[in-house]
Amino acid sequence: MKTKVMIAFFLGIASFGLAQDQLNKTAFDHTFTHTVYFWLKNPDSQSDRNLFERSLKSFLDKSKYAKTNFVGTPPSATRDVVDDSFTYALIVTFESAEAQEAYQNEEVHLTFIEECKDLWEKVVVYDALGVDK
C-alpha cells in the first residue's frame, strides 16, 4: 500500500512538471515577437507547401528558444487595408531579445532556411518588443 501511494505521489509530481512545461510552451509571451511573412515562388504547388510546412513544423518543435508560435495562411481579404498576398505567416514569441538572437543561429533554424530557401521569392520580418502595461 505504501509503495502504491509513493508511486502515485511521484507520478503526480511528474505530471505537474509536464503540465507546467506545456503551459510555458503555449502561454503567449509579450516580451518579444518575431513575425515573418513568406511568399512562395510556387504557392499552388502542393509538394512545395508540404516541404515548407514539414520543415517549419520540425524546426519549431525542436527550437530551444521559440516560446510560442503560430503558423497561418491568409484568409480572403474583405477590406482594402488587409494584405492577403503572402503564402504563410509565422509569429514566434521569445522571453527576451537575446533569446531571439540565439534562435537566429540555432542549428534547427539554419536547417529550415537551407531546406526551404529555394521555395520562397520574398520574406518580410517584423520584430517587436512588448510595451509594458
- For the segment 31-77, what is each residue's pLDDT rounded down to a tens digit? 899 999 999 999 999 999 999 999 999 999 999 999 989 999 999 87
What is 31-129's CATH topology?
Answer: Alpha-Beta Plaits (3.30.70)
- H helical segments located in the chain: 2-26, 46-62, 97-104, 107-116
The pTM of this model reads 0.77
> What was the pLDDT predicted at 3?
53
Helix orientation angle between 46-62 and 107-116, rounded to the nearest 10 degrees: 170
